[in-house]
Amino acid sequence: MMIASQTLTTYPLAPALGQPRWASRGLPVAIAALAAVLLVFVPWPANLMLVGLLAAFLLELTRPPLALGALLLSIPIQANGDVSLGPVILTVTNTIFYGVLAAWLLRVTLLRRPLRGGVVAALFATYVLVLLLSVVSVLSVADWAEEVNRWATALAVYVIAVDAIGDARSARPAVIGTALGALVACAIGLYQVVAHAGPASFSVGGLTRAYSTFGQPNPFAGYLELTIPLLVALVGGWLNRDLRPHLRRACGGWTMLLVSVAAALGLLCLLLTQSRGGWAGAAVGLGAIVWLTGSAVRWGAIAAGVVVVSVVLVTPAAGWVTSRLASSVGSFGGEVLVTPSNFAIQERLAHWGAGINMARDHPWLGVGAGNFTPNFREETPVWRFRISRGHAHNAYIQAAAQSGIVGLIVYLLFLGAVGLRLARALRAAGRSAARVLVIGAIGVTLAFAIHNIFDYLHVLTLGVQLSVVWALAETGTETAFAHHVPGAQPAKQRMEA
């Protein structure tokens, strides 16, 4: 226990991360001077973006976990503006990412740090390679480049996060960034519902669907599924008396209060998105979290669930929920008359059919990464749906459509490797704060996998959030702790001590 506590105390310091001396001496002064020059001589708002890039660069050199927290916080606010610098368009998120990536590459190169990530990173990179090779089939190179960049960014974030997060305490900035990001997104989403601030097409039964800054309710539901299960797992761990002392040392009481508020608002907003795929994914993910947390949390959550369902069934909310779900069930199978109530489902089925046709006509490498839309009109099986929504509304069909049978196999192997890695991390974590992070990652992954049957969640910058969640689970493995702190004990030995 002495070694563990000493490590948690010294982790934030540069020596514990193996930082070079120049990272804490002359370089910050030089970066500050350059930032001042940019603020004065570069037009607004490009100057702020460039200063933000420099800040992210410096933060990654000196406090990598804090840089990850800032990256996660930026995800819901990136839609509030972007800056064009010639051919490059900078959003808040990719500005921070470019700064983090540059600093990480510099540190890895100078210190000759080995890359980590194991088979998950290897299969992640393999799928990116398949997407690169799919260029031979593309109609739009620009769309191909955008999709490849999105996946390559998620891969880079995963590798950087695995390198930065060595134990549960170093995961604290990522947890805080996730909670703050969820609070910002939920505050906007709640305002939209209360003020009816949305397109008429987002209104169902007189209630506006929450979409926050993500443009559509379903991507917002996807974002919540990548954040809220992690926060719920932390709340569940706090309620478990065996895990609470470990969480108190790793996160602290104020962090847990922030996490609890974000989790509660996130669950409410997930309901208000009225995303049926989001509801299905969250039900599976949260169910797994409750079961794996165990103890009184498991039975208390089951009892609370029964009470909530019983109350809902005897209130007007029951009709709202059941009608929303019934419109889905009744829209599958055979020739169905398209009506306003089932339009979304029929449109999704048309996209599934188009994706299957693309995979059939281009079996090996598909139509090319990001080229679903350019091929949609020719491949759609339903004449009334001629305008693409950008993807197949199913991640597995999307993988087959844009990267063929080769890409689909690699994608499934990649997800399988993630599942096996999470199972191993859960076994290795024991009764520790890391166990809570692993349980949260399992809940996120299950919710993500289920929702991906009805949507494609590898959009916007959701992959960045997912990559960090998967990296957080690495704190549960026996090797993560020892890698970052020379001489530290593996997880099992720390437990015995």
Distances from the Cα of 168 to the Cαs of 113, 434, 450, in angstroms?
21, 5, 27
Distances from the Cα of 91 to the Cαs of 48, 49, 211, in angstroms?
11, 8, 19
Predicted pLDDT at 84: 66
Q: Are strands 83-85 and 203-204 parallel, antiparallel or unpaired?
A: unpaired
Residue carrying the six token digits 């960034």: 177
pLDDT tens digits, residue range 358-388?
999 999 999 999 999 999 999 998 878 888 9
Query: Which of the residue ranges 36-40, 152-156, 310-314, 340-344 would you say has the lowest mean pLDDT?
Result: 310-314
Predicted pLDDT at 80: 62
Q: Is 319 a residue whose pLDDT tops 50?
A: yes
Q: Is 496 a residue whose pLDDT tops 70?
A: no
Half-sphere exposure of 38 (CA within 13 A, CB side): 17
Distances from the Cα of 298 to the Cαs of 236, 301, 431, in angstroms?
9, 5, 16
Coil, helix or strand for 305? helix
Q: Is 484 a residue whose pLDDT tops 70?
A: no
d(CA 98, CA 156): 10
Please report which confidence band the pLDDT of residue 323 belongs to, taking 50, 70 and 90 as the band edges.
low
Q: Is 467 a residue whose pLDDT tops 90?
A: yes
Residues in the chain: 497
Please report which confidence band the pLDDT of residue 447 belongs to, taking 50, 70 and 90 as the band edges.
very high
Q: DSSP for 42-99, please give it.
A: SPTTHHHHHHHHHHHHHHHHH-HHHHHHHHHHHGGGGGG--EEETTEEE-HHHHHHHH
Please report which confidence band the pLDDT of residue 457 belongs to, taking 50, 70 and 90 as the band edges.
very high
Single-letter residue type at 495? M
d(CA 108, CA 461): 24
pLDDT tens digits, residue range 142-162?
999 999 999 999 999 999 999
Residues near 211 by beta carbon (within 8 Å), at least 6 away in sequence: 189, 192, 198, 202, 217, 219, 220, 273
Please report which confidence band the pLDDT of residue 341 belongs to, taking 50, 70 and 90 as the band edges.
low
pLDDT tens digits, residue range 91-132?
889 999 999 999 999 888 887 777 888 899 999 999 999 999
Mean pLDDT, rounded, for 433-460 = 96
Coil, helix or strand for 203? strand
Coil, helix or strand for 194? helix
Q: Is the dihedral of CA 297, 302, 306, 312 positive or negative?
A: positive
Q: Which residues pair with 83 in a beta bridge?
A: 90
d(CA 40, CA 57): 20
Q: Are strands 207-208 and 83-85 parallel, antiparallel or unpaired?
A: unpaired
Exposure string of 212-236, with b = 16+ CB inside 10 Å and e = fewer, is: bbbebbbbbbbbbbbbbbbbbbbbb
Please report which confidence band the pLDDT of residue 485 belongs to, taking 50, 70 and 90 as the band edges.
very low
Please report which confidence band the pLDDT of residue 487 belongs to, taking 50, 70 and 90 as the band edges.
very low
Query: Average pLDDT over the chain, rounded to whole?
Result: 84
- Contact, 201 vs 222, CB < 8 A? no
Residue carrying the six token digits 């991906």: 452
Nearest to 202 by CA among 226, 218, 182: 218
Nearest to 151 by CA among 406, 380, 407: 407
Q: DSSP for 204-256, please give it.
A: ETTEEPP-TTSSSHHHHHHHHHHHHHHHHHHHHHHHSTTTHHHHHHHT-HHHH
Nearest to 461 by CA among 69, 89, 97, 64: 97
Q: Is 5 a residue whose pLDDT tops 70?
A: no
Half-sphere exposure of 319 (CA within 13 A, CB side): 3
pLDDT tens digits, residue range 280-296?
999 999 999 999 998 77
Predicted pLDDT at 21: 52
Q: Is 66 a residue whose pLDDT tops 80?
A: yes
Predicted pLDDT at 77: 86
